[in-house]
Amino acid sequence: MSKRSILHMFDPMPNNSPFDINMALDAGFDVLMPYSNVKLESIHNLTQDVIFSRSPSGVKKTAIFIGGRDMGLAIDMLQACKPAMVPPFEVSVFADPSGAYTTAAALVACVENALRKNHGLELKDCKALVFGGTGPVGIATGVIASLHGANTCLVDHLTLDNASDVAKQYNRRFGCHLTGAVAHNDEEKTALLADADIVFCTAKAGIRVLSAAVLEKAANLKVAGDVNAVPPAGIEGIGFKDAGAPLLHATQAPNAVGVGALAVGNVKYKLQQELLKSLLETKTPLYIDFRDAFEKARTLV
């Protein structure tokens, strides 16, 4: 009897994401095994249970997916899998907590593409703001943009200390150069936007972050990207399907363009599918995180 493919889904949260389960099944895995409330210290033993329970031919049809909501913990869990492997008993591991890695990768890739097409610029030429920058998608977005040269600031809506602490934490972890800022109101948002080239909006769904009044004063803005697919849009005037359309309300930056949530979501969906399929197709084990996701996303925009 041929071996069935199995995806073991480790999640530190009380439940696994239905989104991830649907995606994994559609990617071609025969069996999905979700695990909730998984602790970092359990990863080594769980991984060895995964690899030693199948023959080398079965191991090739086995993989691990790491979920949750904490970007750093997901990386730690992925790293904890590596020393547990004993070749040839070694499986691929894909970390994508709350879809943050693939969503952020798709967002930055779409914005980078619009920046090149409409302004002839690269991320390294720009200052970027990440609103909702202390959440999982915001952090991943900020780290990717910073690692590719953008002068990147994580913007929190509550406290400067929180934004600065998160920036310092991920600078230490990944060698990037994030800064932190706070914006409680439109006046503070306008001040931050004064010299920003790029805006990434990764705040909670259904929250209007940047109003028309704020955008009207953003004279330096070139590209704005929004991942909020629940009305109202996070950035006023961006259509959900916009993929480099003129940014309404940015009257002082007439060449500014917007990238909407469904345009990003289309790339994110394809990206997660491609990465999940790669776990089944690879001949050598893969360890996939947000950096790999971004490189793949660049090929899909």
Read off the pLDDT of each residue in 22-49 and give the average, rounded to a whole number: 97
Please write the tens of the pLDDT for every residue from 263-284.
999 999 999 999 999 999 999 9
Beta bridge partners, 226, equal 201
What's the CATH code, domain 6-95? 3.40.50.10280
Q: Are 275 and 102 in contact (CB under 8 A)?
A: yes
Cβ–Cβ under 8 Å, residues 89 and 56: yes
Report residue 2's pLDDT band, with 50, 70 and 90 as the boundaries.
Answer: confident
State how far Cα 191 lies from the chain centre: 27
Average pLDDT over residues 10-22: 95
Amino acid in the structure at residue 221: L
pTM for the whole structure: 0.96
User: What is the side-by-side strand order in the sheet with 179-182?
Assistant: 179-182, 151-156, 127-131, 198-201, 223-226, 257-259, 243-246
At 3 the pLDDT is 87
What pLDDT, in 10s, does the model give residues 196-238?
A: 999 999 998 889 999 999 999 999 999 999 999 999 999 999 9
Q: Which of these, 163, 98, 84, lies nearest to 130 by C-alpha position?
A: 163
What is the crossing angle of helices 71-81 and 160-174, to 10°?
20
From residue 147, give the alpha-carbon distance in Å to each of 141, 157, 173.
Answer: 10, 24, 12
| Predicted confidence (pLDDT) per residue in 38-88, tens digit | 999 999 999 999 999 998 888 999 999 999 999 999 999 999 999 999 999
Q: Do domains 6-95 and 102-264 have the same CATH topology?
A: yes
**Cα dihedral angle (20, 157, 109, 248), rounded to 10 degrees?**
120
Euclidean distance between the first and the last CA atom of the chain, given in angstroms as a whole number: 40
Q: How do residues 116-161 score in pLDDT, each as one tens digit?
A: 999 999 999 999 999 999 999 999 999 999 999 999 999 999 999 9
Distance (Å, whole) CA 11 – CA 56: 26
| Percent residues over pLDDT 70 in the chain | 100
User: How far, in Å, CA of 160 to CA of 262, rounded?
Assistant: 31
Tell the residue number behind the tokens 């697919």, with chain if given: 229
Domain boundaries, the chain: 6-95, 102-264
Please state which of the four CATH numbers 3.40.720.10, 3.40.50.720, 3.10.20.600, 3.40.470.10 is assigned to the domain occupying 102-264.
3.40.50.720
